[in-house]
Structures are given as structure tokens and as C-alpha cells.
Structure 1
Amino acid sequence: MLSLLIFLLLFPLADLAAKEIYMWRDENGVLVFSDTKRPGAKVISLADDKVTSMKKADTSVFEKNNTQTKIIEYGIQIVSPSHEETIRDNTGSLHVSARITPSFNPKFKAQLLFNGKRNTPPQSNAVFVMRNVDRGAHTLQAQLFDEEGNVVATSEQITFFMHRASSIAK
């Protein structure tokens, strides 16, 4: 983005000399440049000689946002199996995948709750494998822990159905 700003401010463009350029930070903190005015946008005016130095540019947007601390809200969602899905596996094997947003921090840990109980120790990825799951209805929920062990996100509880061949002889 800085390269774009330098390009816009230093490259001689006759048709841009008379226009106003606006800059602002979006909801993710990304610096945006546009010729369309938005609420809270700062005007960057290009000088008549088509060259504006960085000293003339209003840098208050940079300074103001550098002092703010952005709080990241994490989320975790079970993506496989889906809610009320039937799993057909005679060995009772179950593969559970969770999605973490915005992205998985390597210092964080994920844990799976099976029928309301912690089934696996916290681990550094969001894929879980379970073996010999009994037939019938079961619930799953995932939790995300920060580096201090605090729960920062919990998924919605889903129900799945394990379908295995009966062990009763016919």
C-alpha cells in the first residue's frame, strides 16, 4: 500500500492533478485509497506541480491507528461431519474437521467434546480422529484455547449418527 501511495503522490499524472484522493482504514485496518469520498476519509490533495512530498500528506490516519489495539474475535466451527449427518463405518471410525477463524494461531490449542465430555487432549490442529465409536446418536462440540489455556471460542453443538452393522447374529 505504501508503494501505491508513493506512486500516486510522485508520478506526474495531468488528469489526477485536479482530483482529490481519499484515504481511510477499513474495518480490518487496511489502508484504502480512492477517488470516492467516504465518512471519516482524509483528503490527499495533489499539488498543481503534480508532485507532493510525503511531508505535505496528512499522516494522522497512520498515527491514530498505530496506537489502537485491535481485539481479534476467534471462532471455531465443526465443518465435518455436518449436523444430523449419518456416518456409515463398521469400524466406528470418525474424522472430525473444524474451521478456525480468522486463522489458527500456532500457540492456540483445539479440543473436541464428545457427548459433552473432553474426549481428546488439546492439540495444535483442528482435525480429530476417533476410533470405535458406538452406534447411535452422538454430539460433538469444539473448543479453542489461547496460550494461557483460556477458552476463546466454542463451536455450536452438532449431532451425528453412527451407523454400524449389528453385532447380533441373524
Structure 2
Amino acid sequence: MAFRSALLSLLIFIMLLPVTNLAAKEIYMWRDENGVLVFSDTKRPGAKVISLADDKATSMKKADTSIFDKPDNPNKKIEYGVAIVSPSHEETIRDNTGSLHVSIRITPSFNPKYKVQLLFNGKRNTPPQSKSVFVMRNVDRGAHTIQAQLFDEKGNAVATSEQITFFMHRASSIAK
């Protein structure tokens, strides 16, 4: 008897489930009183019907993925570029500890076998590394220059950034 009761309850539950319409629904588009574009499946006076097959509703702007393309000729030499992203040229860094974070961008992509080195005031500050972020501590007050160089696996320089001038501002320790 319990089996029949459970079966009957299951059948009633299934019958009460809403029947979904498998046909494609229409989408409506309009602007509200604030000029915001609204999309809905509810019809409204003045709304425009959008077909889901319409290219305007389904197309996306194609992203530039050329950075991931492999060269047609594997023997073709890749032209690398290196640039200092942060700090920007003539930026003032305000840090009483004298900490400086330098971010480097390498194009077309950072080959893991390559190394990048930071030149601080024209001198090699750190050994070449495989990371594109440098952290320097206790940088003195005043104007300084930084430049980045990219080296291949044989140690040959393949790219050099422009020289960036920045200003380190640290509060004076001299009491007035």
C-alpha cells in the first residue's frame, strides 16, 4: 500500500511540473526612462524584437590574439621588446622606507628561458631573473634612472627598454 501511495504522489508531482516550451522565445529590447538598455522576454509597448540568430545579438568583437601565434617560419628571429610599465617616466614615488616596485612588460611573450635585468642609475643592480617584477629597498631620496634589459638563454641582450627617470620622495629625518 505504501508503494502505491508513493507512486501516486510521484505521478501527481510530475503532472504539476510546468511544461516548458521548447520553441525559441522572443527577446525584447527597449530603453527605460533613464536611457538604460533593457533586455527581457516580456513584451512591452515600443520594445523591439531581437532574433537570437541576429548577428547583432550574438556576435562579439574579436580579440587580438596575435601574441599567441607562432611564427610561420620557425627559423625566423622573433623581435622582442621590453618596457618599464611602472613607475612611469618622471613619476614621484613617496615611500619613507625607500621601497620601489618596478614592473616590466616583455613582448610578444616572456620566454621562460630568458632573463631580465634591471639597471639602476646605469649600473646592474641585481642578477638577471626570470620574473618581470623587481623590488628594491632603501632607495635614497632624489632623482634616479632605471632601465631593463632582456637576455636570451646564451646571455645575449635581445632587447633594452627606454631609460626611465623617477623621483624618490622620503620624509627628511632632520628635525627642524
Q: Which TM-score bucket, shorter chain as reference?
A: 0.5 to 0.7
1:94 maps to 2:100: yes
1:72 to 62, 68, 78: 78
* Partners of 2:86 and 2:134 in 1: CA distance: 10
- Give the gaps of 5 or more residues in structure 1: 1-26, 31-64
* Partners of 2:88 and 2:100 in 1: CA distance: 12
| Identical counterparts, % of pairs | 84
* Partners of 2:113 and 2:170 in 1: CA distance: 37
Report the RMSD for the aligned CA atoms in angstroms: 2.2
TM-score (norm 1): 0.61
- Give the gaps of 5 or more residues in structure 2: 1-65
One-letter amino acid of the structure 2 residue matched with residue 97 of structure 1: S
Aligned to 2:163: 157
One-letter amino acid of the structure 2 residue matched with residue 152 of structure 1: V
The residue correspondences of 1:105-144 to structure 2 (distance < 5 A) are 105-144=111-150
**Residue aligned with 2:98, SS:** coil
**Residue aligned with 1:125, SS:** coil
Map Cα deviations across residues 117-152 of structure 1 (whole Å, 9 max, x no partner): 000110011100000000000000000000000000
* Partners of 2:170 and 2:134 in 1: CA distance: 20
* Partners of 2:157 and 2:85 in 1: CA distance: 19
* Partners of 1:110 and 1:167 in 2: CA distance: 35
1:85 maps to 2:94: no
Q: Runs ≥4 in structure 1, deviation > 4 angstroms?
A: none
One-letter amino acid of the structure 2 residue matched with residue 86 of structure 1: T
**Residue aligned with 1:140, SS:** strand
* Partners of 1:167 and 1:149 in 2: CA distance: 42
Alignment length (residue pairs):
110
* Partners of 1:119 and 1:167 in 2: CA distance: 26
One-letter amino acid of the structure 1 residue matched with residue 124 of structure 2: R
Displacement of 1:69 after TM fit? 2.6
One-letter amino acid of the structure 1 residue matched with residue 105 of structure 2: R
TM-score (norm 2): 0.59
